[in-house]
Chain A
Amino acid sequence: MSATTATAQAVRLGPVSGRLRWRSVLVPLTTGVVLVLVSALSLGRGDFPIGVGDVLRTLVGLGDPSQAFVLLELRAPRIVVGALVGTALGLAGALFQTFARNPLASPDVLGITQGASVGAVAAIVLAGGGGPAGALLGGLGVPVAALAGALLAGSLLLALTWRSGIDGYRLVLVGIALWSAAAALTDWLLTRADITDAAAAYVWITGSLNARTWDHALPLLGTLAVVLPLALATSRVLGVLQFGDDTARGLGVRLPLAQTVVVLLAVVAVAVAVAASGPVTFVALVVPQIAVRLTGGSRPPLLASALLGAVLVVGADLAARTALPQALPVGILTAVLGAPYLLWLLVRGRRRTT
């Protein structure tokens, strides 16, 4: 039995026209609702529990002031940063996977998050050790150092892959090489560090939303406000890029330009996300694969991947803070929650086709 595929509905309004599948509308909508509910639930949980009703009332400006302070100043930044990080990672994963025509192509595998780790760990470890490099990195601060590391890794990835265009296969190979080089560099820095620096660096490497403030959220929000619409605008071209270079060019795509734009958007999204929270692993790898199985179709949907990423990170953070006896960094939980779900979808998918 083959899976039934919902036929697309033509939508036309004046000069604007497009095609919509009900699942590709329903999945982002449902995910959006789930995101709001999980966020509200997460906002309410903590040392001073607040019910979901009160949380929602406060969010629309009808709650009492003391609750408003706890929710908006203490808890909201953490959840907003989590949601934005998830959005950026889900989006970047979908862009990379579609572009490379390879579900393994995620910023974790391509070395970009490892690049951020090198930057952050260097800032933590060398700032303590003194010297000119330490003074410079210490002055930058961990988030900026991480951002620089990720952007540097992303630029190297682009430059080393480029051969009058970007080949998706080559991208993955170059990315894996960068990943191992960056991982070795991180390990080397960690072995040189004293024990407290190493512990701080280790927590950062795991990815954490602890003690995030609006200062972490705003740069992320600003960047995503630009990157997300641009990425959604590339969707039409991505649909053709996934056919391979010759076919895409034959259909009138300006290949080098389109490829560069897609890779740059993904690199920037990952860099700002990792700078804000540390490398929350697995989100960019698993979320697009979950999204494509929920919506059907041939490639990871961008908007649904972004929203599902947000749900996964916020949900994992909620679980890490409440369900477990000891609060764990969110990065551990995203893998623990995401992996079984993907496995379940894969197993179910195979059963359906055989």
Chain B
Amino acid sequence: MTQVLHRPPVRTGPVRLAAERVRLAYDDRVVVDDLDLELTEGSFTAIVGPNGCGKSTLLRALGRLMRPQAGRVLLDGRAIARTPTREVARVLGLLPQTPTAPEGLTVADLVARGRHPHQSWLRQWSRDDEAVVAEALAWTDLSDLADRPVDELSGGQRQRAWISMALAQGTDLLLLDEPTTYLDLSHQIDVLDLVFRLHADRGRTVVVVLHDLNLAARYAQRLVAMKDGALVASGTPAEVLTERLLADVFDLEARVIPDPVAGTPMVVPVRRLR
């Protein structure tokens, strides 16, 4: 049995995004049930858990891509399902897992699409849009690649381009679903550094689904661990990443030692249990 280790979250500001007793299901298959979660202003949260635990599904519900069967998601205290899509898109940006860009689309065009929720039929490219996009490109170090087609970029550059688009969208909140998938370690670090700077320098509230526990512990202020569609533990990385939790949630016997670089907990696997 998993032991529930609810700890009070790091409170840095008002709650921006919250799930209230949500039940998420694909047709009859319930993936997440009766889950509560609060995300505060300016926080950096990583959702971790074994494959199929419902963490991506939870992220989809938080991003209004999926409607809960029961319970609700609140964005700034307002039911997100009843908020117009466009209004949501001005406050909350999301980066799906392995997003696809159409062939031939340039980096500059991709990033420019981030301005969509701020534009109208008449006002399709204001000076504001232009400045924000240029800044987003520069900030993600992509100015030199602006005219290159996205499909010609390397995996790491491509992910930067998508993050740049999310930056151009100018939302306070940003949800990312496994942004480091298929990247080698140095590009994983590159992408997470970028996301961390969005949080630290730009004050963005960030929620990210991550597989790599050590990276999650290093970058996130707060970890949320899930198993079988339930929230099992929530708190600082040191509070969540215990040998006990790794055994309960991941069926993994492991040592947890301090990361020699960051001092955050580091998981050293021993063997799989069961």
Contacts and interface: CB of A to CB of B under 8 A. Distances in A.
Interface in A210-265: 233, 236, 239-240, 242-244, 246-247, 249-255
26 contacts: A2-B148, A3-B149, A5-B147, A7-B108, A10-B125, A15-B123, A17-B122, A17-B123, A17-B125, A17-B129, A18-B124, A233-B121, A236-B116, A239-B116, A244-B100, A246-B60, A246-B96, A250-B94, A251-B117, A252-B87, A252-B89, A252-B117, A253-B116, A255-B85, A297-B105, A299-B102
Contact of B125 (A18, A244, A297): A18
B99 A252 contact: no
B106 interface: yes
Nearest to A14: B122
Interface string A10-39: 111001111100000000000000000000
Given A250-B63, A250-B65, A250-B93, 14 more contacts: A2-B152, A5-B106, A12-B125, A16-B123, A17-B123, A17-B126, A243-B100, A243-B101, A243-B102, A246-B65, A247-B99, A250-B92, A251-B89, A252-B116
Given A101-B102, A252-B116, A298-B103, A12 B127 contact: yes
Interface in A263-322: 292, 296-299
Nearest to B114: A251
A299 B113 CA distance: 14
B88 interface: yes
Minimum-distance CB pairs A-B, first 7: A252-B89, A252-B117, A298-B105, A252-B86, A246-B96, A18-B124, A298-B104
Nearest to A251: B116
A251 B169 contact: yes
Contacts of B102: 101, 242-243, 298-299
Contacts of B147: 4-5, 7
B178 interface: no
Contact of B85 (A7, A242, A252, A299): A252
B90 interface: yes
A101 B90 CA distance: 26
B38 interface: no
Contacts of A233: 121
Contact of B113 (A3, A17, A239): A239
Contacts of B116: 236, 239-240, 251-253
B69 interface: no
A240 B89 contact: no
Contacts of A19: 112, 124-125
Contact of A236 (B119, B127, B148): B119
B121 A251 contact: no
B100 A249 contact: no
B259 interface: no
